[in-house]
A and B are shown apart, each in its own frame.
Chain A
Amino acid sequence: MSVVLHEPGAVADPEPVPSRGGILWNTIRRRPSAAVGAVVLSLVVIAAVLAPWIAPYGLHDQVGPVFGPPSWSHPLGLDDGGIDMVTLLVWGARISLVVGFAATLVSMIIGGAIGVLAGYFGGKTDSILMRITDYFLVIPDVPLMIVVAAIWGPSLFHIVIVIGILLWTSTARVIRAQVKSVRERVYVKRARSLGAGHARIVFRHVLPQVAPLLIANTVLTIAVAIFDETALSFLGLGDPSRVSLGKVIENAFQRAAISSGAWWAIVPPGALVAVVILSCSLIGGALEDALNPRLRVAHVSARTFRLRPLVGRSDSSL
């Protein structure tokens, strides 16, 4: 018998496939919190990128008295060097973001690589890499950052490296778990049974699948990196020649801004850090929520299903 087999018609209407960018975009579109985060973060990033053009004064120009109060020309007052606070915030955001992004890049590269290797190869590779990760997980990281920053000297580059080196563990774990599950997917097995090389499988099948999670993790890591930079700066281990937001806080703190009544030197930079971190967390959290199918249905909730008025259509006689 030779029936020609057709599966005509009735194919579900093609809908756009969520691409990697798509997931980010969709999440931002659908969740107001993520949208707020994205808008705020973009504003800060734009301001930071445009710092040289939009900063009202020079970063090193003493334009008034030490801790000059807010005025028309200096809406947020002056810092302990008589420098305009708005200028400092714009430039500070720039450095903080650079540190955040760069350190995250470092941690993504290390964490991503280790996570993929451990998850993909499993076995001994996995246990060795995970033991290393575990070790990094238990070292108290802020103290270690202090030590390393003290040893290497406080430069922006070192801070980026140190933060990056300490932050990769969570990335590695998240990625490893995801890779492990992707590795067991049938299409990966199939590719392997076809004789595909590891590189091909990793780059063509595993990484794209892990990418959305990596993005979510990246956004969250940026927040942590910025936080850590602020902490390091506060402890005097920041790069003194670069004005980051943490540095601005530290300068004000060291010069007793609070007791001299100069709240404007200390409140705005911290608030800006908080806003940036909050935005990252909102986006990252929403992405993680969106990517975690287990969060979608809660079988018990304060809200219950709704009742609609009766429609009445079919007859129910038997």
Chain B
Amino acid sequence: MSAVGAPLLDVDDLVVRYPVPRGLIGLLRRRPQLAVHAVEGVTLVVEAGELVALVGESGCGKTTTAQAVLRLVDPLSGSIRFQGDDITQLGMRALRPLRRRMQIVYQDPYESLDPRLRVQATVEEPLLIHRMGGSKGERASLVSDALARAGLSPPELFLDRFPHQLSGGQRQRVAIAAALVLDPQLLVADEPVSMLDVSVRAGVLRLLEELKASGLGILMITHDLSTAARFADRIAVMYLGRIVEEGPAGEVVRNPQHPYTKALLSVVPRRDPRMRRRPQILRGETPDAVRIPSGCRFHPRCPIAIDVCTTEDPSLRRTDSTQSPHHRAACLLA
């Protein structure tokens, strides 16, 4: 029933806001209701078998985007299509079967597993929730399969363990196994490795890479550009609720168009001591998502901003100096 050829996930002009509490006095004085503009018109596509990385500073709206995609927060406007079906307005009940097909993996492997449940129970839970997997025996084999797919083999070694008996990497794998057991088409991974030790990060990332190869669409949120550059097919750079640059990973890293992307890339520390560079540091903190600057939202921090930037809000478009047709940036000067 899904449209043939439609992308796995197609997000168009998504807007999400969180109201700011006004307080009693504010209410009485009829102060205007303010809102955090967490996501302000995000457009994004994830194809099956593709790993898209969403990068950006803290608070720019990455997690909110992910949650809106999974319909865990309600978008204000815009549309979300999953395999061609518009799921923006679906109710709780109608969403249930859909939940199976899109899964999320959270950042903190130490928090994302119930400390009181054994691996077996954790991985089995999604099946129970969706009343799937048939008999007990069948479920057990599904659980083992999922664990094996997540790189925990032989599964028997892990089934009876509690989370605290696992290393961080193993926990994250269990979390991924619990997401895989329902055989989803889309996996959203919100900073899947940022809490892990460097020594085990690669293992988890390579697992994602493998899953992608097997046809899963993955939306990975990260703030680490080196990771994104290494593992993602495409990178979308977010700034203050909006995607400011988007394109094939290599393109974006090697040939950044937006000054923000450039700055981000320049501050990534390199592991070779001989490669010391002077980073191009943006001054000031991430601006307030409640009061978005007029014009180009990046202009107050932009090193190359000109007058027109304060008034005109650039849209995401192909720029002259890009090679790939899919490389787009939202900068008047690019």
Contacts and interface: CB of A to CB of B under 8 A. Distances in A.
- Does chain A touch chain B in the assembled complex, meaning CB atoms less than 8 Å apart? yes
B106 A196 contact: no
Interface string B165-189: 1110110010100100000000000
A190 B203 contact: no
Nearest to B203: A5
A191 B99 CA distance: 11
Main secondary structure of the interface of A (DSSP, over half): loop
B108 interface: yes
Interface string A265-303: 000000000000000000000000000000000000000
A310 interface: no
- Please classify how large the interface on chain A is, using the bins under 10, 10 to 19, 20 to 34, 35 or more: 20 to 34
B295 interface: no
Contacts of A196: 125, 129
Contact of B99 (A193, A197, A200): A193
Contact of A194 (B107, B125, B152): B125
Nearest to A188: B114
Interface string B108-121: 10011111100000
Contacts of A6: 151, 153
B170 A186 contact: no
Contact of B111 (A5, A12, A187, A195): A187
Given A7-B203, A187-B112, A193 B70 contact: yes
B197 to A, nearest CB: 13
Contact of B170 (A11, A19, A192, A208): A11
A205 B167 CA distance: 22
A185 interface: yes
A193 B206 contact: no
A14 B119 CA distance: 13
B207 interface: yes
A12 B167 contact: yes
A251 to B, nearest CB: 49
Given A189-B106, A193-B99, A12 B125 contact: no
A252 B255 CA distance: 93
Contacts of A5: 151, 203, 206-207, 210
Contact of B165 (A15, A185, A193): A15
B167 A7 contact: yes
A151 interface: no
Contacts of A209: 114-116
B152 A14 contact: no
Contacts of B125: 191, 194, 196, 204
Contacts of B126: 194
Contacts of A2: 210, 213
A307 interface: no
B153 A193 contact: no
Interface in A147-190: 185-187, 189-190
B230 interface: no
Interface string B24-66: 0000000000000000000000000000000000000000000
Contacts of B308: none
A7 B129 contact: no
Contact of B96 (A10, A186, A195, A205): A195
Given A17-B116, A190-B178, A194-B125, 7 more contacts: A4-B153, A7-B167, A14-B161, A17-B162, A17-B165, A194-B130, A204-B125
13 contacts: A2-B210, A7-B203, A11-B157, A11-B166, A11-B167, A185-B111, A187-B113, A190-B175, A194-B99, A194-B130, A195-B100, A196-B125, A197-B129
Q: What 4 pairs between A and B have smallest CB-CB spacing?
A: A5-B151, A186-B112, A195-B99, A186-B111
